[in-house]
Homo-oligomer: A and B are copies of this chain.
Amino acid sequence: MNIFILGPAGSGKSLLARNFSSYLASEGYRVRLVNLDPGVLDPGYRPDFDIRSNFTVESIMREENLGPNGAILEAMDRLAKTAIPRFEDSDYVIFDTPGQLEPFLFRETGRRIVGRFPDRCCLFIGDLPALRGNLLGFYLYALTAYLTLETETIAVLNKADLLSPEEIGEIEESLNDPVKILARKPLNLREEMNMELLKALRVFFPPKRVPLISAKTGFGFDELLTMLYEIKCACGDLT
């Protein structure tokens, strides 16, 4: 199974790639790790394939005399054209994706690369402490990724280790009660519309299907693996 770890910059993709692959290996699986982020200085692990052997954002900045914005776009175009090994001898291949999800998603790069792998799934990571007030934004961005990449996606809330048990309780309550997700929004946002939207979102990401994890401590990895089994067995039916 090919697992793509997606999420905004700073959500903890590389740490999850490293520690979840160690966890899978300790459970007895054959695991490979692929780094698709040409902008990272040190991912914190030794990948089996590393896009930085071909190019980095910094090398493109120097060679093409581009700023970081232009170099990131050029890197995405090059990434789309790169042959990425399949590692068919493995049980799980974990793909760490570019630091910024946006150019991966809104150019053809993401769809082209992810689409090459038949047996696949995405983990969409959110940074819990940063998102506390904006769970709706997290759901929407996860849904954008799901529909753009046309791949079963598990929305995962990371960095649970940074919250107190009370705060985790509150988040879990919000996930289960959509009205709470909207609670901090001002009244001038049309409520009826928001409720319609939430109803739609909850079908894509049922509350029980949004695990709280910690990429750092390994909290929630068992639950994540169970969800991956279910995706594999049900051929993509997460309901």
Contacts and interface: CB of A to CB of B under 8 A. Distances in A.
A100 to B, nearest CB: 5
B8 A103 contact: yes
Interface size class of chain A, counting residues whose CB lies under 8 Å from the partner chain: 35 or more
Nearest to A41: B67
A70 interface: yes
A72 B100 contact: yes
Given A196-B196, A203-B193, A9 B73 contact: yes
A200 B196 CA distance: 6
Given A106-B130, A193-B200, A10 B140 contact: no
Interface in A91-147: 99-103, 105-108, 127, 130-131, 134, 136-137, 140-141, 143-144, 147
Given A103-B9, A144-B141, A150-B189, A40 B69 contact: yes
A144 B147 CA distance: 14
Interface in A224-238: 236
Contact of A68 (B39, B107, B136, B188): B39
Contacts of A193: 200, 203-204
A67 B73 contact: no
A84 interface: no
A76 to B, nearest CB: 9
A9 B69 contact: yes
Contact of A100 (B100, B108, B148): B100
Nearest to A201: B197
